C-alpha cells in the first residue's frame, strides 16, 4: 500500500492539525474545568452541606472520589497507549486511533447527560471513558507535530494549536453559559448543564472532521499480529535505552515529569478547589467560577504566544524556568485565598502561564527528538511520563483532601514539584539548550 505523500510545512495540513485543538478543547474546558465540576458539586452536596458520596461500600469526599476516578483513568491510559502507539507505528494508522478515541470520548461525553447518583457506577464509567478518549486521542494528535512541521515552526504551531483550542472552547462555553443562565430554578439549570454535555460531544466529533479530511495517513500495508500488539512496550523500552544515551532528552524529561505532575493536577482540580474553598456568598459559585474560567482561557491565548516570544529571545529552557517560577507564586498565593476577588487574581496568574507551559513543553520535546520515523512511540513515552505524574498528583490530592478535609495543603505540596522541575531544567546541558 502506498503511503500518502505530503510536504512538511504544508499550510493546509498544519491548519487541519491545529483545528483538532478547536474541536477537542471544548471537552477540556466544559467537562474537566468548568461545568461538570459545578454539576458534580450540586449533585453530591446536600442541603446541610454534606459532601460525602457512597460508592462501592465506602464513603468519600466528593472531590476525593472524582480525583480517584481520574487517577484510575490515567492508569489505564498508561497501560494501553504503549500498545496502541506500537501498532500505530508499525501499521501507520495513527489517524485511525485519533478518530477512534475522538468518537469514544465524544459519544461518552454525550452519555453524561444521563449522569445520576442512582446509577453512579455507570455514570462514573462514562466519565472515565470520556476522559480516556480525550487523553488517548492527544497521544496521536501530538505525534503528528514533528511529522507535518519543520523544527523551526514547532513552537509557533504548538502555541497556535492551544490558542485555537482556547477560542473554540470559550465559544462553546459562552453558549452553554447562556443556556444555563436562561433558566431560573436549580433543577432547570441542572438540566441545561446536562444538555451542555451533549453539545460538547457533538462539537468535538463534528469539528474534528476538518482535521481528518486533510491530516495525512501513513498506512503502509503491514498487518497487526500478536507480536505487534505488545510491540509498543518493547518500543518504549528501546526508546528509554535511547533516551538514557541522550543526556539532553533524559534531563529534560525528568524536569518535565516533575513540573507537569503539578501543572496537570492543579488544572484538573482548580474548579473543585474553587467550589469548596472560596466564600462565594449568596449568589453561589457558578457565575464566579465561569467568569474565572473564561478569564483563564483568554489570558491563556496571550500566554501561549508570550512564551513563544520569550523562547525566541532567551531560549526554551530559560522560558520554562520563568514560567515554573510564576506557577510557584500562583500556588503559594492560592493557599491563602478565600474571597472571589482573590480567586480571580489567582485565575489571572494561572491563565498567563497555563497554555504557555503546555505548548512550549510539547514543542521543546519535539525539537529534542532524534531523527526518527517512530514519532508516535516517542510521544507515547512523553504521554506516559505525563500521565504517571498525573496519577501521582491526583492520588496525593485525593489522599491529602480526604485526611485534612481541605485541598489547600495539596496545592501547597505541589510547589515542591515546581521547584524540582526548575532544578532539573537548569541541569539541561548548556551547550545544547534551545
Residue-wise pLDDT for 31-81, tens only, equals: 988 889 889 888 887 766 677 888 888 888 787 888 889 889 988 988 887
pLDDT of residue 123: 95
CA dihedral 137, 434, 353, 243 (to 10 degrees): 40
Q: How confident is the model at residue 231 (pLDDT cuts 50, 70, 90)?
A: low
Residue that has been written with the C-alpha cell 461538570 in this structure: 36
| Comparison of pLDDT for 321 and 225, the residue scoring more | 321
Q: How confident is the model at residue 230 (pLDDT cuts 50, 70, 90)?
A: low
| Comparison of pLDDT for 275 and 25, the residue scoring more | 25
pLDDT of residue 108: 97
pLDDT of residue 285 exceeding 70, the answer is: no
pLDDT of residue 286 exceeding 70, the answer is: no
Residue-wise pLDDT for 165-224, tens only, equals: 878 888 998 899 889 888 878 889 899 999 999 999 999 999 999 999 888 877 666 666
pLDDT of residue 156: 80
Model pTM score: 0.76
d(CA 13, CA 17): 6
pLDDT of residue 425 exceeding 90, the answer is: yes
Side-chain half-sphere CA neighbours of 401 within 13 A: 24
Domain annotation for the chain: domains and CATH numbers:
11-219+230-432 (1.20.1250.20)
Amino acid at each position: 500500500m502506498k503511503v500518502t505523500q505530503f510536504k512538511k510545512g504544508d499550510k493546509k495540513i498544519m491548519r487541519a492539525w491545529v483545528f483538532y485543538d478547536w474541536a477537542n478543547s471544548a471537552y477540556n474546558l466544559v467537562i474537566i474545568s468548568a461545568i461538570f465540576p459545578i454539576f458534580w458539586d450540586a449533585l453530591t452536596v446536600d442541603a446541610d452541606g454534606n459532601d460525602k458520596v457512597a460508592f462501592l461500600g465506602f464513603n468519600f469526599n466528593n472531590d476525593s472520589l472524582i480525583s480517584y476516578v481520574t487517577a484510575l483513568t490515567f492508569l489505564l491510559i498508561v497501560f494501553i497507549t504503549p500498545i496502541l502507539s506500537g501498532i500505530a507505528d508499525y501499521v501507520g494508522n495513527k489517524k485511525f486511533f485519533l478518530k477512534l478515541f475522538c468518537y469514544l470520548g465524544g459519544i461518552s461525553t454525550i452519555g453524561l447527560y444521563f449522569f445520576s447518583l442512582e446509577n453512579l457506577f455507570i455514570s462514573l464509567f462514562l466519565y472515565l471513558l470520556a476522559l480516556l478518549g480525550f487523553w488517548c486521542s492527544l497521544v496521536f494528535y501530538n505525534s503528528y507535530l514533528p511529522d507535518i512541521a519543520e523544527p523551526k515552526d514547532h513552537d509557533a504551531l504548538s502555541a497556535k494549536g492551544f490558542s485555537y483550542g482556547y477560542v473554540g472552547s470559550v465559544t462553546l462555553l459562552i453558549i452553554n453559559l447562556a443556556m444555563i443562565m436562561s433558566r431560573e430554578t436549580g433543577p432547570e439549570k441542572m438540566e441545561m448543564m446536562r444538555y451542555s454535555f451533549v453539545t460538547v460531544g457533538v462539537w468535538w466529533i463534528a469539528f474534528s472532521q476538518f482535521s481528518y479530511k486533510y491530516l495525512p495517513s501513513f498506512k503502509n500495508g503491514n498487518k497487526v499480529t500478536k507480536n505487534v500488539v505488545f510491540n509498543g512496550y518493547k518500543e518504549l523500552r528501546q526508546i528509554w535505552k535511547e533516551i538514557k544515551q541522550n543526556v539532553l532528552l533524559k534531563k529534560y524529561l525528568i524536569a518535565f515529569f516533575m513540573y507537569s505532575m503539578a501543572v496537570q493536577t492543579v488544572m484538573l482540580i482548580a474548579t473543585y478547589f474553587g467550589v469548596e474553598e472560596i466564600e462565594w456568598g449568596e449568589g453561589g459559585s457558578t457565575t464566579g467560577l465561569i467568569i474565572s474560567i473564561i478569564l483563564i482561557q483568554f489570558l491563556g491565548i496571550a500566554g501561549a504566544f508570550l512564551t513563544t516570544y520569550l523562547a525566541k529571545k532567551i531560549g526554551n529552557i530559560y522560558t520554562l524556568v520563568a514560567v515554573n517560577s510564576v506557577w510557584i507564586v500562583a500556588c503559594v498565593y492560592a493557599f491563602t485565598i478565600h474571597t472571589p476577588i482573590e480567586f480571580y487574581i489567582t485565575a489571572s496568574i494561572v491563565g498567563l502561564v497555563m497554555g504557555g507551559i503546555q505548548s512550549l513543553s510539547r514543542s521543546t520535546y519535539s525539537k529534542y527528538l532524534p531523527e526518527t520515523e517512530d514519532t508516535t512511540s516517542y510521544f507515547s513515552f512523553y504521554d506516559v511520563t505525563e500521565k504517571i505524574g498525573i496519577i501521582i498528583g491526583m492520588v496525593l490530592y485525593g489522599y491529602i483532601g480526604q485526611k485534612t478535609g481541605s485541598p489547600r495543603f495539596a496545592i501547597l505540596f505541589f510547589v515542591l514539584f515546581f521547584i524540582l522541575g526548575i532544578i532539573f531544567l537548569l541541569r539541561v546541558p548548556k551547550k545544547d539548550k534551545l
